[in-house]
Amino acid sequence: MSGIDFDVREFARLLSTLPAHLPISDAMEQADPQKKGRWWSSQREHMSSWFDSQATTGSGSFTRQKPNMSARTTYNMLQHPEGLVWIAEALGVDTQLVQQVANDALAINRRSRSKFVRQHLPWDMIAGLAKSEMESRRR
């Protein structure tokens, strides 16, 4: 599966069709919610908007020199562990694994959580499931 990537907008469209609220990611977010700047009603809204916005030069503190068109790059730079957990949960990663990763992530410093989550729920795992989902929808 190594090397799979998607246009960030295509990946955002996929994310926008997945369930908005799921038990593990919702519980993780409730256990340690973002303290300020929370504008989303669900991780689906947050993640699909975030991935879609990468295709622009951004705005404010999220301004970029040029658009980022890579879903892989976006996932690997994302600093929102609850969103990473939601993506995995929504795409169908094994529930026990997702639960363990979420629990363990909550036990460490918030600044280290995204890296920890990606170590256990790496892009190649996510990309394989996303590819399968996209292919099944085309049939």
- pLDDT tens for 18-65 read 999 999 999 999 998 777 777 789 999 999 999 999 999 877 767 788
Question: Where residue 9 falls among pLDDT bands split at 50, 70, 90?
Answer: very high
How many domains does the chain divide into?
1
* Residues 80, 34: Cα–Cα separation, whole Å: 9
pLDDT score for 1 = 46
Residue 37 lies in a domain: no
Which one has a higher pLDDT value, 3 or 46?
46
* Residues 46, 34: Cα–Cα separation, whole Å: 12
Residue 94 lies in a domain: yes
Which one has a higher pLDDT value, 1 or 108?
108
- The sign of the CA dihedral 86, 98, 82, 23 is positive
User: Does residue 7 surpass a pLDDT of 90?
Assistant: yes
pLDDT score for 64 = 81
* Residues 80, 26: Cα–Cα separation, whole Å: 13
Residue 65 lies in a domain: yes
Residue 2 lies in a domain: no
User: Does residue 2 surpass a pLDDT of 70?
Assistant: no
User: Does residue 132 surpass a pLDDT of 80?
Assistant: yes
Residue 97 lies in a domain: yes
Residue 106 lies in a domain: yes
Residue 36 lies in a domain: no
Q: Which domain holds residue 67?
A: 8-31+42-138
Residue 13 lies in a domain: yes
pLDDT score for 86 = 98
Q: Is 7 helix (H, G, I), strand (E, B) or coil?
A: strand
Torsion of CA 118, 121, 124, 126, to 10 degrees: -110
pLDDT digits (tens, 9 = 90+) for 80-104: 999 999 999 999 999 999 999 999 9
- 51 Cβ contact list (under 8 Å, min separation 6): 8, 9, 11, 12, 15, 71, 74
Question: pTM of the prediction?
Answer: 0.93
